[in-house]
C-alpha cells in the first residue's frame, strides 16, 4: 500500500493519478490553513497549487542528474519578493512541498496519510490552548512629560496592580518634551485594569495611555 505507483514506463494514467491527488491534497491543506489563519486569497491558492507544481518538477527530474541541475538553475533565476511570512504560513508551505515530493515520487498512500495525520494534528493544536501563554501578558504604553523620572514614578502602582512588569522601550517625542514608555505587564486582577489606568493618568498628567495585547513579532520567520 505504501509502495510507489511509478514504474520504469511513465504513463498518462500514472500522471493523472498523481496530479489529481496533488490537487485534492493541496486543496485540503489550503482549507485547513484558511480555517485558522487570515491569509490572502493568493497565498491560499498558492498552497493549493504548490503540491501539484512540486510533483511535476519531481516527475520531470525522475533521477536524471542533468535535468535536476537544469531545474535548479532555472529556479535560481527566479527571485521571490514578498512580505515576511509568519510561522504558520511557512509550515503550510513546507507541508505543501512535502505532499508534492510524495506524489511526485509515486507514494500516493503515504501522501494521503500524511495529510490526514498532520492536518488532524494541526486542527487539534489550533482548537485547543496548546502553546498559548499561561499568563495574560499585556502591552502598556504611557506618555509622560520630560520632567518626570520614569524609572520611579510608577513603581508603587506596578507593585500594587501587577505581578510582573518590564520596561521594554523608551522613546522621546514632540522635540524631546515627552517620553513614550513601553512596558510588558501581567495584571494581578484583570478586572482592575480601569482602576490601574486611572491611577496612571493621575501620575502622567492625563496624557495618552494605551493598554492591549502583546504583538508577538516572534511569529515571523
Q: Which domains, from first to last, does the chain contain?
A: 12-127 (no CATH), 137-219 (3.30.70.2690)
pLDDT band at 1 (very low <50, low <70, confident <90, very high): low
Q: Which residues contact 166 (CB under 8 A, 6 or more apart)?
A: 183, 184, 185
Q: What is the mean pLDDT of the chain?
A: 84
pLDDT digits (tens, 9 = 90+) for 30-60: 999 999 888 888 889 999 999 998 888 888 7
> Rounded to 5 degrees, what angle do the CA atoms 86, 89, 91 make?
110
Q: Which of left, alpha, beta for 11 (phi over 0: left; psi -120 to 50: alpha)?
A: beta
- Spatial neighbors of 67 by CB under 8 A, at least 6 apart, are 60, 61
Q: List Cα–Cα distances, 98 to 38, 125, 148, 162, in angstroms.
A: 23, 20, 57, 46
Q: How far apart are CA 180 and CA 170, in angstroms?
A: 6
Q: For position 78, what pLDDT does the model report? A: 54
pLDDT exceeds 90 at position 136: no
Q: How many CB atoms lie within 10 A of CB 52?
A: 22
% of residues, the chain, pLDDT over 70: 82
Q: What is the pLDDT of residue 6?
A: 76
28 pLDDT exceeds 90? yes
Quick one: pLDDT at residue 47?
A: 92
Question: 133 falls in which pLDDT band (50, 70, 90)?
Answer: low
Task: Kindly tell me if the per-residue pLDDT of 121 is higher than 70.
Answer: yes
DSSP string, 49-80: HHHHHHHHHHHHHTT-HHHHHHHHHHHHT---
Amino acid at each position: 500500500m505504501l509502495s510507489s505507483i511509478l514504474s520504469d514506463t511513465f504513463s498518462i494514467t500514472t500522471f493523472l493519478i498523481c496530479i489529481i491527488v496533488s490537487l485534492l491534497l493541496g486543496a485540503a491543506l489550503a482549507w485547513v490553513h484558511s480555517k485558522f489563519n487570515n491569509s490572502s486569497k493568493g497565498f491560499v491558492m498558492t498552497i493549493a497549487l504548490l503540491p501539484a507544481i512540486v510533483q511535476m518538477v519531481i516527475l520531470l527530474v525522475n533521477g536524471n542528474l542533468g535535468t535536476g541541475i537544469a531545474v535548479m538553475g532555472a529556479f535560481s533565476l527566479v527571485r521571490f519578493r514578498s512580505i515576511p511570512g509568519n510561522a504558520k504560513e511557512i509550515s503550510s508551505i513546507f507541508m505543501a512541498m512535502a505532499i508534492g515530493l510524495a506524489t511526485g515520487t509515486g507514494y500516493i498512500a503515504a501522501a494521503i496519510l500524511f495529510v490526514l495525520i498532520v492536518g488532524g494534528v494541526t486542527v487539534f493544536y489550533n482548537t485547543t490552548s496548546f502553546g498559548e501563554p499561561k499568563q495574560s501578558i499585556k502591552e502598556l504604553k504611557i506618555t509622560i512629560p520630560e520632567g518626570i523620572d520614569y524609572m520611579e514614578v510608577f513603581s508603587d502602582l506596578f507593585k500594587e496592580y501587577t505581578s510582573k512588569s518590564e520596561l521594554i522601550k523608551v522613546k522621546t517625542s514632540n522635540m524631546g518634551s515627552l517620553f513614550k514608555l513601553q512596558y510588558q505587564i501581567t495584571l494581578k486582577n484583570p478586572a482592575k485594569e480601569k482602576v490601574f489606568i486611572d491611577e496612571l493618568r493621575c501620575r502622567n498628567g492625563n496624557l495618552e495611555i494605551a493598554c492591549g495585547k502583546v504583538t508577538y513579532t516572534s511569529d515571523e520567520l
